[in-house]
Structure 1
Amino acid sequence: MSVKKMSLPMIATAALLVQLALPASVHAAVPLVPAVRAVGNIEPVYQFKSGPMPTGVTVSAKGRIFVNFPRWGDDVPFTVGEIRNGAVVAYPSQTANTFDPAKPADTLSSVQSVVVDALDRLWILDPAAPGFQTRIAGAAKLVAVDLGSNKIVKTIIIPATVALDTTYLNDVRFDLRVGKAGVAYITDSSLSGPGGIIVVDLDSGHSWRKLTGHPSTSVDTTFVPFVEGERLAQRAPGKAPQPFAVASDGIALSSDGATLFYSPLSSRHLFSVPTKLLLDDTANDAALSAAVRDLGEKGASDGMEADDKGRLYASDYEHNSIHRRQPDGQWTTIASDPRMSWPDTLSVGPDGYLYFTANQLNRQAGFHEGKDLRQKPYMLFRVRIDAGPVMLK
């Protein structure tokens, strides 16, 4: 029978019979369902083929790239490093990266974030809580390194009245126009206590808490995250899963410095507050609370960042993606790729790229009954955004 005389059902049946008769190797090469569509063009910058998982990344005005490795259980020979000549080396020195309990203010304990400011200084945020344990007394700090001399030039200790026993200092942004030397805004992403925003006067070193325990800095108790096909929860051997509960985490400062954006890690909502209400440590808390805005859902984010065109970026760890919010509030996806396994810190470089780490955080042993499912290499990627960083000075 010729094909011309076959009916459409007969042709479909014949095609199916031909497929069924093909060898298994051919079947494997012929997709029967649509493939996941990648969005954007992410470029690999560095592969962490050995060593601990990174969290933070930042890029200097001259293109130097710095990363950090919190001491969460991996073997961490140094907690801050610079990518130099194809390798990661301790920065500013191995001595500074070797924690000495007798010198908690002078040595680094477990760094969570690194950020280059508008004066091209590297700021190191040390929550001093290795393994998320109780904060080491006298060790929670902000440390500034002059990138010209590669020397530590300032250390600000966060006191116990501000960095509580439950506090985990997570991420930081700077506005150097405020006061004599500027201010820093830090998120407290506590796992067991209140979240909040910490403000630090960079001249005097004085610091204070705002929005402590406020709903916008707290865990969303209705939040149920799903990553790589399973509910993300703390899972210890022989025990029932416990909710993934992490307070205020991601943070970004608007290009004019007037608005602070932030979000709990255990939430999909974006919040904002006018910075002028954070800067007065004696201001009325009721007025501050009333000024907080819930800007709606943006996905579940670890890292957040802003650019000099007034746009906001937020990672989406449930969907291996990064989204961008326009000044009018509209969101688009600029990157989505299976290789972006837990996009963590975001950092806008001087070269028009958004840099970000992908560290497989959700595959850690604590989420899988003691089984570490991470597969090296961890990755540092970038995606073109044609914008520069927010640099307020």
Structure 2
Amino acid sequence: MQVILPSEEYFGRFEAVFLFYGPMPTGVTVSETGRIFVCFPKWGDDVEFTVAEIVQGSLRPYPSIEANSANPSNISMSFISVQSVVADGRGTLWVLDTGAPNFSEPIKGGAKLVAVDLNTNTIRKVYTFTEDVVLPTTYLNDVRFDFRVGKAGYAYITDSSSRGPGAIIVVDLETGHAFRRLNGANSTSPDPYFLPKVEGRILMNRNKDGSTSPFRLASDGIAISPDGKQLYFCPLSSRHLYSISTEALRDRTIPDSNLQNFVKYWGEKGASDGMITGAKGTLYAGDYEHNSIRKILPNGSMETIAHDPRILWPDTFSIGPDQYLYFIVNQLHRQPRYHYGNDLRQKPYSLLRTKIDESPAPTMGKG
């Protein structure tokens, strides 16, 4: 007699928006008009273009194939290896270029934040960084914006370094002046006691030569409150959630050594890669250890809204004008670097979405 034993319960409704049969994507963003952009960092796959728009069911290099062709003679105007793309809700696509293919030391002048005009599909402005901001160990990961402060707004970027200090990089978008905050602080650093377990197995660096090392990546996920006053962030190698006043981040009169006193600890939310906030102040975060997506309300209460075996490493999140939460699922943990050089990923990778009945958090005030 065959006995069917109880099994884990899966729940949550989502649908596939796009399937990827080429290189592995990391980032996604949906503009205020519903255009969808994705990016493909150069981590070893054959990447023909590192930024693309999904147009009529196919990928189109964005804003052009020329912009996606790294040009050593004009490195600031061409994309090298893009980790994140963010549409700001006001006509601009922001492209965060690590300048660090295969997690190398950033190419001099290659790490940058690029503003692309969505009306003309041309590069409008490029922000590069000094050597005291982008260190030899820096890996620019994700970015959030607030246009209510300063003359042109501010950007906040996570440095998710695997071998140097994590940090939040603050950028004055008027002057381009940038500076590191919470540099090497506990809140931006990997949790030394964190032992990630994905698909029931411990995740760690496993090299072709048989050597191993812990999975250690610094500040990664980042989200900003609807009023722009709080920045949420988390190291990739951690289950903890933190926030800090953006005013304190921008205030250079507060020494970095004292800035950690302004950090608020929210407790465990699961191990997250991507995070995003909605207009109601809800924080959405992935949990890559449990194939899940969570929402955290402003009062700190938490609920899992999707738990499914197909959510194999939820990476970047974006909220569209259609009130759907869009997210990339890319099997990041199955890459060769974690399996002695064996690539365990199975195509296709996917862009999924689930209805959340919440609009994107605004980046500017009304009127």
Q: TM-score range by the shorter chain?
A: over 0.9
Are the aligned partners of 1:39 and 1:333 in contact in 2 as well (CA < 8 Å)?
A: no
Aligned-residue offset at 1:215: 0.3
Indicate which of 53, 61, 64 corresponds to 1:82: 53
Structure 2 SS opposite 1:329: coil
The answer to whether 1:146 aligns with 2:125 is no
Give every structure 1 segment of 4 or more consecutive aligned residues whose post-TM-superposition deviation is greater than 3 Å: none
Q: Give the letter aligned to residue 39 of structure 1.
A: F
* 1:38 alignment counterpart: 10
Indicate which of 92, 98, 106 corresponds to 1:121: 92
- Cα displacement string for residues 55-100 of structure 1 (whole angstroms, at most 9, x for unaligned residues): 0000011110000000000000000000001101100000000001
CA distance in 2, matches of 1:257, 1:270: 17
Mapping of residues 331-350 of structure 1, within 5 Å: 331-350=302-321
Q: Give the letter aligned to residue 236 of structure 1.
A: N
The answer to whether 1:358 aligns with 2:329 is yes
* 1:65 alignment counterpart: 36
CA distance in 2, matches of 1:344, 1:202: 26
Unaligned runs of 5+ in 2: none
CA distance in 2, matches of 1:281, 1:108: 31
The answer to whether 1:314 aligns with 2:282 is no
CA distance in 2, matches of 1:287, 1:221: 22
CA distance in 1, matches of 2:150, 2:315: 31
* 2:166 alignment counterpart: 195
- Cα displacement string for residues 207-257 of structure 1 (whole angstroms, at most 9, x for unaligned residues): 011000000000111000000111000001343321000000000001111
CA distance in 1, matches of 2:277, 2:220: 15
RMSD: 1.0
CA distance in 1, matches of 2:91, 2:11: 32
User: What is the aligned length?
Assistant: 364
Are the aligned partners of 1:122 and 1:145 in contact in 2 as well (CA < 8 Å)?
A: yes
TM-score, length basis structure 2: 0.97
| Greater helix fraction, Structure 1 or Structure 2 | 1
Mapping of residues 178-257 of structure 1, within 5 Å: 178-257=149-228
Structure 2 SS opposite 1:216: helix
Q: Give the letter aligned to residue 382 of structure 1.
A: R
The answer to whether 1:290 aligns with 2:261 is yes
* 1:53 alignment counterpart: 24
CA distance in 2, matches of 1:348, 1:101: 35
CA distance in 2, matches of 1:198, 1:37: 40
- Cα displacement string for residues 278-333 of structure 1 (whole angstroms, at most 9, x for unaligned residues): 11234322442111111110000000111000111110000110100011100000
CA distance in 2, matches of 1:379, 1:294: 32
Structure 1 SS opposite 2:73: coil
Unaligned runs of 5+ in 1: 1-18, 20-26
Are the aligned partners of 1:356 and 1:382 in contact in 2 as well (CA < 8 Å)?
A: yes
- Cα displacement string for residues 24-53 of structure 1 (whole angstroms, at most 9, x for unaligned residues): xxx5xxx612233222101111111x2100
CA distance in 1, matches of 2:210, 2:335: 17
TM-score, length basis structure 1: 0.91
Aligned-residue offset at 1:203: 1.1
Are the aligned partners of 1:219 and 1:245 in contact in 2 as well (CA < 8 Å)?
A: yes
CA distance in 2, matches of 1:100, 1:368: 33
CA distance in 2, matches of 1:117, 1:36: 39
Are the aligned partners of 2:227 and 2:362 in contact in 1 as well (CA < 8 Å)?
A: no
* 1:162 alignment counterpart: 133
Indicate which of 248, 251, 255 corresponds to 1:280: 251
CA distance in 1, matches of 2:40, 2:8: 31
